[in-house]
Amino acid sequence: MIPALLFLAASTPLPKPVTKPLVTLSPCGLVTAAEVRQIFKRPFVKGNEDASACEFSVLEQQVVAIKMQHSTSKIDVEAEMITLRKAFPDARMRDANDLGNRAFFLDLPGIGTQLFIIRGDHDFLMVSVMGLGEAKRVAPGAKLVARKALERLPTVQ
C-alpha cells in the first residue's frame, strides 16, 4: 500500500479533521480491475480494499490505487500542498486543471505520480500510479482512472 502510506506520511501534523468515506459506493466499484487493465495494458488484479481505498496491483511493485474521503471540515488545499512539498522535497507539483475540479499532480521521481482532486470544500479523490514508469508517462492513465471515478461519484454541493 505504498500510495496510501505516501499520502498518510504527508498529512498535516495539525489536529486532523474527522474524515469518513466519501460515499457508500465501494472504491473498487468506482473503477474496476478490468478498466485499470485496459488503461495501463497490464494484468492488474484487485488487491486490498477498505471503506475509502482500493488498490490494484501487478507483481506487488506496480500499483494503481484509488482513495476517496470526505472531511467534516473544509479542506485547506494550499496547506495540504505545502505539507506535501515539505514531505516530498524532490517531488514536483503541477496543476491538472482539465478535470473540472481543483486538481494537481504530485510527481515522485523514479516512482510515479499521485493525482489529487478536490471536489467542493470537503471531498477529495486521489489516484496513485506507482512502479509503472515516470510521472509524465503514467499521468494520462491516472487522469483516465480519475475521470471514470468522477463519472460514477455523486455530485457534491
Sign of CA dihedral 136, 103, 106, 20: negative
**Confidence check: pLDDT of 71 > 90:** no
* pTM > 0.95: no
Report how many domains make up the chain: 1
For residue 74, pLDDT over 50 is answered with: yes
Three-class SS state of 150:
helix
- What are the residues whose beta carbons fall under 8 Å from the beta carbon of 82, sequence distance 6 or more? none
**Domain for residue 10, yes or no?**
no
Of the two residues 31 and 6, the one the predictor is more confident about is: 31
| Any domain includes 71 | yes
Grid cell of 35 as nine digits: 478498466
Q: Work out the average pLDDT over 34-49.
A: 87
Q: Which domain holds residue 107?
A: 18-152
Q: Which residues pair with 69 in a beta bridge?
A: 124
Does residue 13 lie in a domain region? no
Q: Is residue 95 part of a domain?
A: yes
More confident residue, 17 or 83: 83
> Is residue 29 assigned to a domain?
yes
pLDDT, one tens digit per residue, over 90-115 is 999 998 878 777 899 999 999 999 99
Given a contact cutoff of 8 angstroms between Cβ atoms, the answer to whether 62 and 132 are in contact is yes
- The whole-number average pLDDT for the span 73-89 is 87
Residues 54-88: b if buried by 16+ CB within 10 A, e if exposed: bbbbbeeebbbbbbbbbbeeebeeeebeebbeebb
| Residue-averaged pLDDT of the chain | 80
> Domain with 135 in it: what CATH number?
3.40.1000
CA-closest candidate to residue 58, choices 129, 4, 139, 137: 129
Domain for residue 109, yes or no? yes
User: Which region among 20-24, 76-80, 102-106 has the lowest average model confidence (pLDDT)?
Assistant: 20-24
Q: What is the mean pLDDT of residues 118-136?
A: 88
Give a yes or no: residue 101 inside a domain. Answer: yes
pLDDT higher than 70, residue 64:
yes
Of all residues in the chain, the percent with pLDDT exceeding 90 is 34
- The average pLDDT across 132-147 equals 93
Q: Give domain status of residue 132, yes or no.
A: yes
